Structure 1
Amino acid sequence: MVIDEVKTLDAKLCTRVRKFISLNLNKITSYLSQNLQYGLSVQCTSSQGVSDDSKVHFSPMFDIWFAEEAHAHDAPITPEHMNHARLCVALVSVCGNAMRDVLRTQVSAPHTDIYQAILAEKGKLTGRSGRPLLNPNQINVVFPDPQGMKTGTLDQFDLSLLHILIRNISAVQAPFITGWGNDPHDQPRDTSLGASVERIRSFKNHITGHSADGKVSRQDLEDYWVKIEAVIHDIEKVIGGQMCSQELERQKRQVISVYEAC
């Protein structure tokens, strides 16, 4: 399965072997029992045993990284689908963590703890009409107990919820030119936290909310990646740290390696 003296794996050949094995295992299990299941894993080369602890298991989502399957006539996953999935991962993981860092560092004084700030500023989460700004699901995430006397775990807050909290209870100012709720992509010189938060909201809407087919071309993937990198750097310039930019760079290297394997 290697293609040169340095033992570089032939990705397409490996994928065909794995697909052949999976196809036949599916046939066998369907013949024997509907309740019979199996899992895919690889043996750790550093381990001498064959126990479960020495194996690395594949999750179902791992299939989207096998580029050769995208070229199969019967495969539902295309390279454009994989590009969309990669952007979604970057949004949820990297941009989500960046937004959490913004919320943590920009809560209004004198509340130094984000959870205390959310409880203290609970009244600001009600609109002018008296209706709550949060939907029922978001309320259950932010205030998991019926009395609303404690908040949920910050890691459970998604991008939409983080945007609402940053906009309403933090010290982050609205983008100077466009204001809240508008895409500031036409204002490249606005590198404020508010503009960065709005850009992430816009990325989320265009990538996940306004996608009709869940596909992103390679050129659009590269364009989005440049934009996301710029936003992450803008945020880190204000609040400090490099964890998000380092994670984004790691994901970028993974994307490049997959394309090179194709």
Structure 2
Amino acid sequence: MVIDEVKTLDAKLCTRVRKFISLNLNKITSYLSQNLQYGMSVQCPPPQGVSDESEVGFSPMFDIWIADEGHAHDAPITPEHMIHARLCVALVTVCGNAMREILRSQVPAQHTDIYQAILANKGKLSGRPGRSLLNTSQINVVFPDTQGKKTGTLDQFDISLLYILIRNVSAVQAPVITGWGNDPQDQPRDTSLGASVERIRSFRNHITGHSADGKTSRQDLKGYWKKIEDVIHDIEKVIGGQMCSQELERQKRQVISVYEAC
């Protein structure tokens, strides 16, 4: 069911297989018993380091994949919903990983690593109520040890939390023209790390935070995708590597596959 060497799923083929299975299961259950029911799930691999097959779990499939056309209970899922979901995945994963790489690479000179820098700023990050930069849930993620001797891993931090840490813990400088908290100007384009971080914050707000209907049109997708590609390239020019841009390209092919399947 994959269409290239990086194992990108062919969404159209997956949908056809799922429909074929559903159709025949419905026929079988109708012959055997009117009360016989079944559920469709995806098989989840066991946790890392666990080889026991008994640890394999099953999770319900997304409604957009298990809803059968023509039934009254179907959710009104549209191609725009599916495109929006894929765009959100790209934002959370690719842009999130880019921000993690920024944190790892921009450690203040007086600290050995970013975790030491976070602990050194514990008072500022989690001060008394009303003056803390982090809310309670963020504090519990960043400082899972109640004694303040241990920080969480970067993989546990979402974009909002990464943004706060980059601004207040890392060596990244604020955008020269607009400063922190404002959308960077594109004329002339500021390609600094600070401006890239602000652009990701803006993408997060507009795409996932302030969406009224959870939809993204194909035309809007092109615009957002171009902006995300540009900011990822800006970041990689400063910190090096191409892992984020390669992952973004892989997800782009998945988005195209999903849209064509609709």
Structure-1-length-normalised TM-score = 0.78
Q: How far off is 1:112 after superposition?
A: 2.5
Q: 1:183 to 1:65 in 2, by over 3 A?
A: farther
Q: 1:40 to 1:150 in 2, by over 3 A?
A: closer
Equivalenced residues, count: 240
Higher relative contact order (CA 8 A, sep 6+): 2
Q: 1:64 to 1:234 in 2, by over 3 A?
A: farther
Checking the alignment, whether the CA contact within 8 Å between 2:41 and 2:61 is kept in structure 1 is no
Q: How far off is 1:189 after superposition?
A: 1.1
Match of 2:35 in 1: 31
1:20 aligns with 2:50: no
**Structure 2 residue ranges without an equivalent (≥5):** 1-9, 44-52
Match of 2:131 in 1: 131
Backbone CA RMSD of aligned residues: 3.5
Determine what percentage of the aligned residue pairs are the same residue.
Answer: 70
SS of the residue corresponding to residue 216 of structure 2 reads: coil
Letter in 2 for 1:87: L
Match of 2:110 in 1: 110
1:4-83 equivalences under 5 Å are: 11=13, 13-21=16-24, 31-32=35-36, 39=41, 60-61=61-62, 64=64, 74-83=74-83
Q: 1:229 to 1:153 in 2, by over 3 A?
A: same
Match of 2:50 in 1: none
Checking the alignment, whether the CA contact within 8 Å between 2:42 and 2:61 is kept in structure 1 is no
1:145-160 equivalences under 5 Å are: 145-160=145-160
Letter in 1 for 2:23: F
1:198 aligns with 2:202: no
Match of 1:48 in 2: none
1:198-237 equivalences under 5 Å are: 198-237=198-237
**Structure 1 residue ranges without an equivalent (≥5):** 1-7, 42-51
Q: Distance in 2 between matches of 1:140 and 1:89?
A: 24
Checking the alignment, whether the CA contact within 8 Å between 1:65 and 1:258 is kept in structure 2 is no
Q: 1:23 to 1:32 in 2, by over 3 A?
A: closer
Match of 1:46 in 2: none
